[in-house]
A and B are shown apart, each in its own frame.
Chain A
C-alpha cells in the first residue's frame, strides 16, 4: 500500500521532469548568452561597460531570485507599454517565459564573474608566448586564452549549473507545474507531505548527482596534464640505452 503510493507519486513527479529540464535548459542557454556579453563588456576596457557590468552583478547577486522573479512576472506587467507591446507582452504574461528570463538574468551575473576570474587566471606567460609567435589578437584568443579559461571556469560553472537545477523549483510559485509544482499538488491532495517530498527529493538529488558526474567526467577528460602518468608494467618498460 505504502509502496504503491511511493511508486505512483514517483511516476507523477517524473512525468513533470521534461518541463523542469526545459526551464533548466533554456535558463542556462540564455544565461550563457547574456554572461558572454557581460564578460565581453567587462573585458573590453570601456569604463562605461565596466560600470554597467558591476552594477548588473551587484543587483542580480545581491537580491533573492524570488524577488527578481516576482518583479518580472508581477511587476513589469504594470507598465502599459509592456502590456501593449507585441513583443514584450507575449513573453511577460507567460509564467514559463518569465521564469526562464529571471533565471537567465540571475545566472548571467554569477557566470560573468566566473568567466572574468577564469580569464584573469590564464597564465601571462602563455599569452606572451602566443604574442611572441606573432599570433593575431583573435587567433590568440581562440587558440590560447579561450581554451585555458574555459578549462579553469569549468568547476565553478558546474556549481552554477547545479544551483540552476535547484532554482527551477521556484517556477512552482508562479503556477508552473514542473516537478516541485506537481509534488505540491499531490501533497495538498493527499496530506502526506513527507512521503511526497521525499519522492521529489530523490529525483532532484539523482538529477544533480548525474549532472555533477557528467561535469566531473568532462573535467577529467580536459585535464590529461594533471593526471599521474599511467603506471608502466615491468615487461614493457623500455630497456635503458646503456645496455
Chain B
C-alpha cells in the first residue's frame, strides 16, 4: 500500500517537529486565538446591545442605522471587513500622522495588527449579537414590562431589574453560536499578521514543508476549541435558566 507508507512517512516526523518547538508555538497560537475571540466578543457585546436597542427604537433614524449596521456587517465578506480595518486603519493613521508632521511625508504608520483585527472581528460579531439580543428582548413576556411600569419603575430600573437578567438568560444559546462563529472568524485575521493559531500553522507549514501535518493539527485544535465551548455554554444555559426548569 503506497498510500499507507506515504502516510506513515508524513507522520513519522510529526512528533519530532512538534517537540522541536512548533508544539509550544501552536499552544501560543491557541492563546492568541482565544484572546482575539474573547476581546472581539466583548467589543461585539457592547456594539451588539447598542445596535439591538437602535433596531428596537421607535425612532426612524435610529432604526435605520441599526438595520443598516446588521445588513452591512452580516452581508459583507469577513475578509473584506478585516482588510478595511487593517489597511484602511493604516491609511487613516498615516494620513493623520503625516498632516500633523509626527512622521515624514514618505513614512507609513501601520495599524497595530491586533487592534485592527479585533475591531473588525468584533464589529462583525456585534452584528450577529445584535440579532441575538433583539430576539431575546422580543421574547420577554410583554406582561412583565407592563407590570414593571405599573409598579412605577423608572426606565433605568426596568432595564436593570427586568430586561437585562431576562435578555441574558434568553441570549445564552444564541451567544454560544456567535462564539463559535467568532472563533472561526478569528482565523481570518492571520492575514493581518497576528500570530494566532492559523498564522502559526502557516509559518510552521511554510518553513518545514509539512503543510499536511500542521494544517491537520491546526484543524484539530480548532475542533477542540469549538467542541470544548459547547458543554460550557450548555452549562451556562442550565445555570441561567435554573428557575425555569420543570420540577421532576
1/0 contact string of A164-208 vs chain B (CB within 8 Å) = 011111101100000010011001000111100110110011001
A62–B227 touching, CB < 8 Å: yes
CA distance A19 to B198 in the complex (A): 26
Q: A81-B3, A166-B78, A197-B80 are in contact. Are A75 and B87 (CB under 8 A)?
A: no
B83 within 8 A of A: yes
B226–A194 touching, CB < 8 Å: no
Say what secondary structure dominates the interface of chain B.
Answer: helix
Instruction: Please indicate the chain A residues that have their CB under 8 angstroms from the CB of B80 in the complex.
Output: 169, 180, 183, 197, 200-201, 204
Selected contact of A205 from candidates B75, B92, B187, B212, CB within 8 Å: B75
Instruction: Please indicate the chain B residues that have their CB under 8 angstroms from the CB of A81 in the complex.
Output: 2-3, 6
B215–A67 touching, CB < 8 Å: yes
B211 within 8 A of A: yes
B3–A172 touching, CB < 8 Å: no
Selected contact of A197 from candidates B75, B84, B210, B227, CB within 8 Å: B84
A65 within 8 A of B: yes
The A-contacting residues of B in range 195-218, CB under 8 angstroms, are 198, 201-202, 205, 210-212, 215-216, 218
How far is the CB of A144 from the nearest CB of chain B, in Å? 32
B114 within 8 A of A: no
Residue of A nearest to B1 (CB): A81
A133 within 8 A of B: no
B215–A75 touching, CB < 8 Å: yes
Instruction: Please indicate the chain A residues that have their CB under 8 angstroms from the CB of B71 in the complex.
Output: 205, 209
How far is the CB of A177 from the nearest CB of chain B, in Å? 14
A197–B205 touching, CB < 8 Å: no
Instruction: Please indicate the chain B residues that have their CB under 8 angstroms from the CB of A59 in the complex.
Output: 219, 223
B77 within 8 A of A: yes
B6–A197 touching, CB < 8 Å: no
Residue of B nearest to A73 (CB): B211
Q: A64-B184, A67-B187, A194-B92 are in contact. Are A166 and B222 (CB under 8 A)?
A: no
B2–A204 touching, CB < 8 Å: no
How far is the CB of A74 from the nearest CB of chain B, in Å? 4
A71 within 8 A of B: yes
Q: A162-B75, A184-B83, A193-B83 are in contact. Are A75 and B212 (CB under 8 A)?
A: yes
Q: How many residues of B contact A (CB 8 A)?
A: 43
Say what secondary structure dominates the interface of chain A.
Answer: helix
The B-contacting residues of A in range 45-103, CB under 8 angstroms, are 58-59, 61-68, 70-71, 74-81
Instruction: Please indicate the chain B residues that have their CB under 8 angstroms from the CB of A68 in the complex.
Output: 219
Instruction: Please indicate the chain A residues that have their CB under 8 angstroms from the CB of B18 in the complex.
Output: none
Q: How large is the interface on A (under 10, 10 to 19, 20 to 34, 35 or more residues)?
A: 35 or more
B215–A62 touching, CB < 8 Å: no
How far is the CB of A218 from the nearest CB of chain B, in Å? 19
1/0 contact string of A144-168 vs chain B (CB within 8 Å) = 0000000000000000001001111
Most interface-central of A62, A167, A201, A204 (chain B CB within 10 A): A62
A76–B90 touching, CB < 8 Å: no
Instruction: Please indicate the chain B residues that have their CB under 8 angstroms from the CB of A76 in the complex.
Output: 212
CA distance A79 to B7 in the complex (A): 8
Residue of A nearest to B224 (CB): A62
How far is the CB of A159 from the nearest CB of chain B, in Å? 9
A197–B83 touching, CB < 8 Å: yes
Residue of A nearest to B220 (CB): A63
Instruction: Please indicate the chain A residues that have their CB under 8 angstroms from the CB of B77 in the complex.
Output: 165-170, 180, 204
A62–B226 touching, CB < 8 Å: yes
B79–A63 touching, CB < 8 Å: no
Selected contact of B223 from candidates A62, A173, A184, A198, CB within 8 Å: A62
Selected contact of A172 from candidates B79, B201, B216, B219, CB within 8 Å: B79
Instruction: Please indicate the chain A residues that have their CB under 8 angstroms from the CB of B7 in the complex.
Output: 79
Instruction: Please indicate the chain B residues that have their CB under 8 angstroms from the CB of A70 in the complex.
Output: 201-202, 205, 211, 215
Q: A67-B222, A81-B2 are in contact. Are A170 and B79 (CB under 8 A)?
A: yes
B211–A204 touching, CB < 8 Å: no
Instruction: Please indicate the chain A residues that have their CB under 8 angstroms from the CB of B241 in the complex.
Output: none
Instruction: Please indicate the chain A residues that have their CB under 8 angstroms from the CB of B191 in the complex.
Output: 173
B76 within 8 A of A: yes
A80–B79 touching, CB < 8 Å: no
CA distance A187 to B83 in the complex (A): 10
How far is the CB of B44 from the nearest CB of chain A, in Å? 17
5 intermolecular pairs with C-beta atoms under 8 Å apart: A79-B6, A166-B78, A172-B79, A193-B88, A194-B88
